Amino acid sequence: MNLFDFTLKIKGFPLEKARKSLQQIQSIPIDKKADYQARKCLEIANYHLANTPFYKALVGKDSVADFSNLPLLTKSDLQQPLADRLSSQYNTKNVYVNKTSGSSGHPFIFAKDKFCHALTWAYIIDRFGLYQLDFNRSYQARFYGIPLKFPGYHKERLKDLLSKRYRFPIFDLQEKELDKILKHFKNKRFEYINGYTSSIVLFAKYLKAKDIVLTSVCPSLRLCMVTSEMLFDSDKTLMEQQFGVPVVNEYGASELDLIAFTTPDGNFGLNTDTLYVEVVDDSGKVVPMGTPGRLVITSLYNKAHPFIRYDIGDLGVIASDKNGRPYLKELIGRTNDIAHLPSGKTVPGLTFYYVTKSVIEDSGKVKEFVVVQQDLNRFKIRYVSPQPLSEAEKKTMEKALETYLEPGLILAFEHCQSIVRTARGKLKQFSSEYNG
């Protein structure tokens, strides 16, 4: 029995219908894909203008002929009761309902109609299939958060069982816990790893310290898939060396779908089947290809709830390959993770993190760290390592910040036993306490 497919079916999600629809969408020639997306964008916008009072009130029109004139939909717009945001064709009992993680600072409950949710899974299954991974059969080693209270914990464990995966709790990844994880790899025939980037990188560093390549103890392993956090080239290289398998990156949002996914040719291919992705400036105007900007996404098939020109809160750059296929050339970080500097310059917080990372990891002893802006010129680095950084290492980091950012920045260092993650187990690599 295909247990995963069966579970979706008994919950009323038409997976087979969604698969057939996806096949039809993917049969559209590349040179016709832009026309398909333009048509679907207008269809879904006009559907919600006709059937969703919430969206009609936001736009102020009954219909639209120019999609680019529609306002951006922000997460703060969606922080009102779900029932007030649904299309008149749906209610809270005949849709799929879930909640965003809140990592952007604006958590909200969202909905998808059942076909749209099935299409989401059809697309995910299709992307995994690019690497010969089968949701019903391929055994997954899962590095994700898990509720710690009884009902939620056992619900997730049951979902894992039905989904052919084993989950490692990631809130405490000290060496004794990593020893236990390694033991599971020795005793289970995992085919792929999937989970939060920072936790999987930490496991790779542990393996490097032990001089272990994971496939030497788990030869069934074929792939590592990371998600939800930034993937740096140096971390990708480390994981591929220590796991002995390729590393694939995925970028998605629970309220939408997979947004980008590493394709076998190595590009971070955009989902042009169920989504339309734009890059815009601060005024909401589309920027030229290759220019950084805010990622704005439209869900082409969600009739229960509008996600139309939805500002997801991330910055990125889109390019196209030699065949005209768009891909996410760069994911810069969250729009609300901005570092403000004394000179008046503002930089994405992950730029600050990246410069620090390039120095701090040369020591070879720092397991993980986060950067916090405390004031205009004051930053704190919280880090986990067996021994504190030396004064020479701290000075080297200060000099790097002066070289790549600007002089006059003051660094404080906090040596920690562990770093607090979000309730879902994500590691927020940069945050700001500065309100100036």
Domain positions in the chain: 3-333, 338-432
d(CA 283, CA 141): 43
Question: For helices 3-10 and 15-26, what crossing angle results, to 10°?
Answer: 110
d(CA 411, CA 205): 25
Q: pLDDT-derived band of residue 187, with 50, 70 and 90 as boundaries?
A: very high
Q: Which fold has domain 338-432?
A: GMP Synthetase; Chain A, domain 3 (3.30.300)
User: Which has the minimum average pLDDT: 71-80, 268-277, 326-335?
Assistant: 326-335
**For position 46, what pLDDT does the model report?**
97
Over residues 78-84, mean pLDDT: 90
The answer to whether the beta carbons of residues 434 and 374 sit under 8 Å apart is yes
User: Which has the minimum average pLDDT: 115-124, 396-405, 423-432?
Assistant: 423-432
Q: Would the pLDDT of 101 be above 70?
A: no
The answer to whether the beta carbons of residues 170 and 199 sit under 8 Å apart is yes
**For position 273, what pLDDT does the model report?**
98
The answer to whether the beta carbons of residues 272 and 326 sit under 8 Å apart is yes
**For position 106, what pLDDT does the model report?**
55
SS3 of residue 73 by DSSP: strand
Over residues 192-201, mean pLDDT: 91
User: Which has the minimum average pLDDT: 17-31, 42-56, 203-217, 339-353?
Assistant: 339-353
Burial of 66 (0-12, 13-18, 19+ CB in 10 A): exposed
Q: Would the pLDDT of 103 be above 70?
A: no
SS3 of residue 115 by DSSP: helix
Identical fold at 3-333 and 338-432? no
Q: Are strands 223-227 and 192-196 parallel, antiparallel or unpaired?
A: parallel
324: left (phi over 0), alpha (psi -120 to 50) or beta: left
**For position 378, what pLDDT does the model report?**
93
**What DSSP assignment string belongs to 108-141?**
-EEEE-HHHHHHHHHHHHHHHHTTT--TTT--EE
The whole-model pTM stands at 0.84
How many Cβ atoms sit within 10 Å of the Cβ of residue 288?
Answer: 8
**For position 116, what pLDDT does the model report?**
98
Q: Would the pLDDT of 351 be above 80?
A: no
Mean pLDDT, the chain, rounded, equals 89
Q: Would the pLDDT of 246 be above 80?
A: yes
Q: Tell me the Cα Rg of the chain.
A: 22
Q: Would the pLDDT of 275 be above 80?
A: yes
Q: Which fold has domain 3-333?
A: Rossmann fold (3.40.50)
How many Cβ atoms sit within 10 Å of the Cβ of residue 150?
Answer: 8
- CA-nearest of 397, 400, 401, 365 to 384 is 365
d(CA 54, CA 88): 10
**For position 300, what pLDDT does the model report?**
98
**For position 336, what pLDDT does the model report?**
64
Quote the distance between the C-alpha of residue 318 and its chain's center.
16
Q: For residue 374, which phi and psi values (nearest 5 degrees)?
A: -100, -30
**For position 362, what pLDDT does the model report?**
65
- Positive or negative torsion for Cα 330, 353, 197, 228: negative
d(CA 74, CA 72): 6
**For position 333, what pLDDT does the model report?**
73
Tokens of 361: 């990891």
Q: pLDDT-derived band of residue 203, with 50, 70 and 90 as boundaries?
A: very high
d(CA 328, CA 293): 12
- CA-nearest of 250, 275, 263 to 200 is 250
Tokens of 85: 């945001």
Q: pLDDT-derived band of residue 148, with 50, 70 and 90 as boundaries?
A: low
Q: Would the pLDDT of 335 be above 70?
A: no
d(CA 385, CA 260): 33
Over residues 160-172, mean pLDDT: 81
Q: Would the pLDDT of 224 be above 90?
A: yes
Q: Would the pLDDT of 162 be above 80?
A: no
More confident residue, 66 or 339: 66
